[in-house]
Amino acid sequence: GAGVSQSPSNKVTEKGKDVELRCDPISGHTALYWYRQSLGQGLEFLIYFQGNSAPDKSGLPSDRFSAERTGGSVSTLTIQRTQQEDSAVYLCASSFSGRAYEQYFGPGTRLTVT
């Protein structure tokens, strides 16, 4: 079946602009995670969604970052007023509630802020 998909694959933006990154999880997966992968910080957890519950935003680095998940499926990560330190690969993962320990990752979006 189809895996986790993310778009765009690559995004170049100017400092100060807003960007939206999209994640489409595997059908039927209720849990969705966003991670950030950067050279300096490695892989970091950003935000977690479980069904229709309030998201766990504990990993978001600043209030410029926000995310939503519509209808328990597609998720959008928004970064406002981008900074150069936001340059990274943003990875999305989803899991099935019955096997929550198995997270399936998308190919990521490489964000470059110039």
- Give the interface with other proteins as residue ranges (CB under 8 A): 31, 33, 35, 42-43, 45, 48, 50, 56, 58-59, 89, 91, 93, 95, 100-108, 110
Backbone φ and ψ of 64, nearest 5°? -80, -15
Closer residue to other proteins (CB): 54 or 70? 54
**Which secondary-structure segment (H or E) carries 47?**
strand 42-50
Size of the chain, expressed as the number of residues it contains? 114
User: Whole-number minimum distance, CB 4 to other proteins, in Å?
Assistant: 9
Closer residue to other proteins (CB): 14 or 52? 52
User: Whole-number minimum distance, CB 43 to other proteins, in Å?
Assistant: 4
CA 49-15-91 angle, 5° bins: 30
User: Whole-number minimum distance, CB 109 to other proteins, in Å?
Assistant: 9
Omega prior to 8 cis, within 30 of 0: yes
